[in-house]
A and B are shown apart, each in its own frame.
Chain A
Amino acid sequence: MEFTEDQILRYSRHILLPEVGGEGQERLLNAKVVLVGAGGLGSPVGYYLAAAGVGTIGVIDNDRVEISNLQRQIAHNSSRIGVLKADSAKETYETLNHDVNVVTHKERLTSANIKNIIKDYDIVVDGSDNFPTRYLVNDACVMLKKTLISAAVFRFEGQLMSIYPGDGPCYRCLFEIPPPPGMVPSCQEAGILGAVTGVIGTLQATEVIKAILGIGEPLKGKLLLWNALDMSFRTVKVPKNRECPVCGEHPTIKELIDYEHFCSMSH
């Protein structure tokens, strides 16, 4: 692949890195990554992937931009209130970098559509805001053997893990089942420091870029825990669970499950 003069300038700080170089940059331009959610996490992930020149970025989101999103969801802005987030993110990312093609998927993920949406991508990025989607995405990625970079935030805390199906644990090896209704903090307790989504989303983008380039040590078999209040980063071990219901030796989950969206149901 021949870089244009603009591309050589645009990506010069990447190309200068021996771990990236022209070859790595070409890999980024050819990569296909899909974001589950263009919210607090998806916004910075997409921003950095677009800046890095990831050639195809899918955005799965069927929500519209609300003013209360703008405290953290930096892919959007005040002029986009009421616009579908997928369209808003597309405009932001493609304006930043014309090398990037953003494909919008303006639908809520279900067991019926997820495989068809993610099958053409190399890497899936989970920045969803609810358990049903989180488990659906994990199970679909295990079944289709897609690399999954999974992250979640709550108030001042974040969790991050990279999942390589067939080679290490999945999200269900970590947390076997989603919490039942009533066992999770109610929606009223939810809240998030905007910058926390930026930190975790940017870490997530870093894991995506490492995966595309094949450099460094992926956050595989480990869970990263970050707490903003005491600025502590910790990792704990996540062994592969032989009894995992989806990726274990005798899986009991062979079809995708649509869990009830209990949090949003409470309204």
Chain B
Amino acid sequence: MGVKVRIPTPLQKLTNGKAEVECSAKNIAELVDALEKDYPGIKERLSEGGKVRRFINIYVNDEDIRFVNKEETVLKDGDNISIVPAIAGGRLKNEVERLGT
């Protein structure tokens, strides 16, 4: 039992490439701690001082937790959690230059 968490591409390095992980937590704050236990380093990427970073959103099913109860948003078994960061395409000043590195 627990919740399913979708991990965005930029964070999959920390989850050994897994796009979805399972977790057991009563609210978002607990969820972040539970993820950190399994995937060290992820907490720092997701949050700062206990608050989710402002360029990352967490959704419980299709609801943004900022408009529910933020980090205290309650989770129930079977919820689908999505972590969604802002993405911008990854500009390369000179794409050819990159191939040489």
Query: From residue 42 to 68 of chain B, which have CB atoms closer than 8 A to chain A?
Result: 45, 53-57, 59, 62-64, 66-67
| Interface status of B19 (Cβ within 8 A of chain A) | yes
Measured between beta carbons, the chain B residues less than 8 angstroms from A69 are 95
CB–CB A129/B9 < 8 A: no
* B contacts with A, residue count (CB < 8 A): 34
CB–CB B10/A68 < 8 A: no
Which of the candidate stretches A2-10, A44-52, A181-189 sits at the interface with the other chain? A181-189
CB–CB B86/A179 < 8 A: yes
Question: C-beta contact mask, B66-101 vs A, less than 8 Å → 1, else 0?
Answer: 110000000000000010111111111111111101
Asked whether A40 and B89 contact (CB < 8 A) given A183-B53, A188-B98, A267-B94, the answer is yes
| Interface status of A59 (Cβ within 8 A of chain B) | no
CB–CB B88/A235 < 8 A: no
- Could you list 23 A-B pairs, sorted by A, with CB under 8 Å? A66-B96, A68-B96, A129-B88, A130-B91, A134-B86, A134-B88, A152-B86, A154-B88, A154-B89, A155-B9, A157-B87, A159-B87, A176-B55, A179-B86, A184-B10, A187-B98, A188-B101, A227-B19, A230-B19, A234-B82, A236-B62, A237-B67, A241-B67
- B-side residues, CB < 8 A to A, are 8-10, 19, 45, 53-57, 59, 62-64, 66-67, 82, 84-99, 101
